[in-house]
Amino acid sequence: MQDLSQVTLCAADCVTPALAGQALDRCLAQCDFGEALLLSHEAAPTQARWTRIDPLRSIADYNAFMLGQLIEHVRTPYVLVVQWDGFVLDASQWRSCFLDFDYIGARWPWHPTGSDVGNGGFSLRSRRLLEALASPGFVHADAPEDDLICRRNRPYLEQAHGIRFAPAEVAERFAYENGEPQRSTFGFHGLFNLWRHLDEGQVLVIADSLPARTCLSKAFVDLQMTYLQQRKYWMVGAMYRLMTRAGDRQAVLAAYGQAMPDAEVPEALVSLCERLIQGT
């Protein structure tokens, strides 16, 4: 077991707390954390300690909690934040130098150097950072909390508080999200990456527990298209059934449309999936 006694493992989830609990348990199977917390309005099966919080009903609620209230639950010098679609992959990839930084998350390769680290869904954060987030100079806006930390407020955090963001090469060893992983990493994030680390049965168990909006999301479609490329048609059909349970035919077409720029592709995909579930 990797000794991470200086790190609290936590997930804040009021939408899919059972799935968050499973992600926490996958992390706990490889690492010995100082503490492990499921922060939610309701309990769920997990080895982590459940701590009741007020319901987080929206992305705005989640942002506000992560920026202003997470610190109340962290007693160690660092916290590893995970979401239901990310967990520790290989504890042997942990490096002591990770603790030299106040924030590490997977790279955003579409952003320029200096604002490309990183994703909050699997991220290491220091208490120094959590304290700085509560300072009057931190600007809040209508944006994801990781974007507010790592891009919009990064110059302020660095200059006013000496916050250290990991460089790209360290972030790429720590975790991956978008793109092909170039090496074994400590962890990952992203629904569309689950096929790399879980078998099809495990993926379907997770997918069956997702809220309707997630089953109609681009990430869900991206995962389904990976199975299509692999010619795992039974997975394509099973995921399509979940999409039709989440919305009508037009909603499914819209979900495909946001992922596929070609106007003819959504209709062709729906037709293919309908044939798959009819067994023709």
Both 85 and 148 in one domain: the answer is yes
Q: What is the pTM of this model?
A: 0.94
CATH number for the domain including 137? Answer: 3.90.550.10
- Position 188 scores a pLDDT of 97
CA distance 204 to 193: 14
Same domain, 130 and 266: no
pLDDT digits (tens, 9 = 90+) for 27-36: 999 999 999 9
**Together in a domain, 41 and 86:** yes
Query: What pLDDT does 81 receive?
Result: 98
Of the candidates 162, 173, 165, 66, which has an alpha carbon nearest to the alpha carbon of residue 121?
Answer: 66
**Strands 175-176 vs 122-126: parallel, antiparallel or unpaired:** unpaired
Does residue 23 sit in the same domain as residue 120? Answer: yes
Q: If phi over 0 gives left and psi between -120 and 50 gives alpha, with beta otherwise, what is residue 190?
A: left
pLDDT in tens, 88-114: 999 999 999 999 999 999 999 888 888
For residue 144, the enclosing domain spans 2-189
Of 114, 127, 41, 112, give the one whose Cα is nearest residue 81: 127
The residue out of 159, 189, 219 marking a domain boundary is 189
CA distance 167 to 87: 21
Residues of the chain short of pLDDT 50, as ranges, are none
Please tell me the predicted confidence (pLDDT) of residue 67: 96
Residue the block writes with tokens 């990781």: 146
Considering just the CA atoms, what is the radius of gyration of the chain in Å?
19
pLDDT at 54: 96
SS3 sequence of 117-175? ECCCCEEEEEHHHHHHHCCCCCCCCCCCHHHHHHHHCHHHHHHHHCCCECCHHHHHHHE
Q: For position 264, what pLDDT does the model report?
A: 82
- Residues 178 and 237 grouped into a single domain: no
Q: How many whole angstroms separate alpha carbon 135 and alpha carbon 187?
A: 30
127 and 161: one domain?
yes
Dist CA 150 CA 217 (whole Å): 24
